[in-house]
């Protein structure tokens, strides 16, 4: 199985005053950055954008952080509480970024401290351009200054967008912010977001990224397009062929979870969660944690599906079968087993058969199977198994060999 090889070279250290010169020199000769040792499994957390958009405030972030703990999501592995666009208001006379003082009357640091006191981590948003996607101050020309500010506040994660970036080249611009984050002295997970336009899976790790968006924004729908946003099945199709670029510390990011936002059925939300887990994708919830129903909480805290996503082997799953609306996705796991997703994309019930040849196994090999949504062990099987799969839904399995494979 091919793995993306990150070339280890000397990290180019640049002072804040030399940042523009560094950007120009990197455009001529790019230096690959070594890994930062972070995000060795896909990040898990919550982001404000999908549900709240620009309606963010200190009170909201603190409320959602409390809900992450009370709901059991922290216990399930979720750690990052990430504020997206619209927290910024301007820059002071020295160029330091500051938040909207009406929404964050005490500033950002007290909010970060509150999140940390709950045993969680804090994430923030900026943009490589002069303005963010919502017209707030971006980081262009202030990369080192902003990185130092984030470090002073105690930020643990940066999502870095790509609006209003005329004249910039993504690889070099992201590398500059990566260098700035490292120079800040604080370990900060770096999330790249150019929406997959310049194929960041090819260069994102070398630019210092821990994860990179592979597609346009997600739309809370099974399929289709809504402006710049696309549905879950559209996003899934764009992941085919990208598995070799992901691994511990550097992940393909098919965008955030829509689970609980009301645009899809619970079965479709279970499908998104299953598919994101098989893809070794970041699990970043995008709903209102403080008001989610029991079904949403059950999906987001399914420990057996989360264990697949967080598998230490770090190999992204692949589509091994597709015929009409039926698909089979598999992912190798630590210990020699595999996760399997049987997907029915269509509107009619299907019976989907998975054969051992599609798993790369001999037909005579007996396998133990477990249904990860019903939390139920199934009979030992050999050769093949067939399952009825309801419309726009999945069956998710974990297989382990009855005896060690030769």
Measured on CA atoms in the order 346, 368, 321, 268, is the torsion positive or negative? positive
Does residue 284 register a pLDDT over 50? Answer: yes
Q: How confident is the model at residue 55 (pLDDT cuts 50, 70, 90)?
A: very high
Percent of the chain past pLDDT 70, that is, above it, reads: 92
2-11, 94-103, 366-375: least confident range: 2-11
Q: How far is CA 285 from CA 88, 147, 299, 395, in A?
A: 22, 25, 11, 21
pLDDT recorded at residue 30: 80
Hey, which CATH number is domain 318-401, 3.10.20.30, 3.40.50.2020, 2.60.120.10, 2.60.40.1180? Answer: 2.60.40.1180
Q: What CATH number has the domain spanning 16-309?
A: 3.20.20.70
Average pLDDT over residues 49-67: 98
pLDDT recorded at residue 6: 29
pLDDT recorded at residue 292: 98
Strand partners, 387: 352
Average pLDDT over residues 169-195: 97
Percent of the chain past pLDDT 90, that is, above it, reads: 91
Max Cα–Cα distance, the chain, nearest Å: 73
Does residue 28 register a pLDDT over 50? Answer: no
Show which residues are catalytic.
161, 217
Sheet strands (E) in 70-118 = 80-82, 88-91, 97-99
pLDDT recorded at residue 208: 98
Q: For all residues of the chain together, what is the average pLDDT?
A: 93
Average pLDDT over residues 85-109: 98
Average pLDDT over residues 269-273: 98
Sheet strands (E) in 206-361 = 211-213, 225-226, 229-230, 251-253, 283-285, 318-323, 326-332, 338-344, 350-355
Tokens found for residue 216: 């346009």
242 vs 204: CA distance, rounded Å: 13
pLDDT tens readout for residues 188-216: 999 999 999 999 999 999 999 999 999 99
Domain spans in the chain, listed from the N-terminal domain onward:
16-309, 318-401
Average pLDDT over residues 309-317: 98
Q: How confident is the model at residue 73 (pLDDT cuts 50, 70, 90)?
A: very high
- Of the candidates 58, 48, 147, 142, the residue with the CA atom closest to the CA atom of residue 107: 58
Tokens found for residue 8: 């280890």
Does residue 179 register a pLDDT over 70? Answer: yes
pLDDT recorded at residue 29: 54
DSSP conformation class of 401? E
307 vs 305: CA distance, rounded Å: 5
Strand partners, 377: 370
Q: How confident is the model at residue 16 (pLDDT cuts 50, 70, 90)?
A: very low
Same fold, 16-309 and 318-401: no
């Amino acid at each position: 199985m091919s793995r993306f090889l990150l070339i280890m070279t000397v990290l180019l250290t640049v002072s804040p005053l030399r940042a523009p010169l560094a950007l120009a020199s990197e455009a001529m000769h790019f230096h690959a950055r070594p890994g930062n040792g972070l995000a060795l499994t896909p990040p898990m957390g919550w982001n404000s954008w999908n549900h709240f958009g620009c309606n963010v405030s200190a009170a909201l972030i603190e409320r959602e952080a409390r809900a992450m703990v009370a709901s059991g999501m922290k216990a399930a592995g979720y750690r990052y509480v990430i504020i997206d666009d619209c927290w910024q208001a301007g820059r002071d006379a020295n160029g330091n970024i500051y938040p909207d003082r009406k929404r964050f009357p005490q500033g950002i640091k007290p909010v970060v401290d509150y999140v940390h006191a709950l045993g969680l981590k804090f994430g923030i948003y900026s943009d490589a351009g002069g303005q963010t996607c919502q017209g707030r101050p971006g980081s262009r020309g202030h990369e080192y200054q902003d990185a130092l500010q984030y470090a002073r506040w105690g930020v643990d994660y940066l999502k870095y967008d790509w609006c209003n970036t005329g004249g910039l080249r993504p690889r070099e611009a992201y590398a500059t912010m990566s260098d700035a984050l490292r120079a800040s002295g604080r370990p900060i997970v770096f999330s790249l977001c150019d929406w997959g336009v310049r194929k960041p899976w090819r260069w994102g790790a070398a630019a210092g990224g821990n994860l990179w968006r592979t597609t346009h924004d997600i739309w809370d729908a099974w399929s289709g397009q809504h402006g710049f946003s696309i549905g879950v099945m559209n996003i899934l199709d764009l992941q085919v062929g990208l598995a070799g670029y992901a691994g511990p510390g550097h992940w393909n990011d098919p965008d955030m979870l829509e689970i609980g936002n009301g645009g899809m059925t619970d079965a479709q939300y279970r499908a998104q969660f299953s598919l994101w887990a098989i893809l070794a994708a970041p699990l970043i919830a995008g709903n209102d944690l403080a008001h989610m129903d029991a079904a949403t909480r059950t999906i987001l805290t399914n420990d057996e599906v989360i264990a697949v996503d967080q598998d230490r082997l770090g190999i992204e799953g692949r589509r091994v079968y597709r015929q009409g609306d039926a698909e089979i996705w598999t992912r190798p796991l630590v210990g020699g087993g595999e996760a399997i997703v049987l997907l029915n994309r269509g509107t009619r019930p299907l019976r989907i058969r998975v054969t051992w040849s599609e798993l790369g196994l001999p037909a005579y090999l007996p396998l133990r199977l477990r249904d990860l949504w019903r939390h139920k062990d199934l009979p030992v099987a050999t050769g093949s198994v067939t399952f009825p799969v309801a419309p726009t839904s999945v069956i998710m399995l974990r297989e382990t060999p009855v005896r060690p494979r030769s």
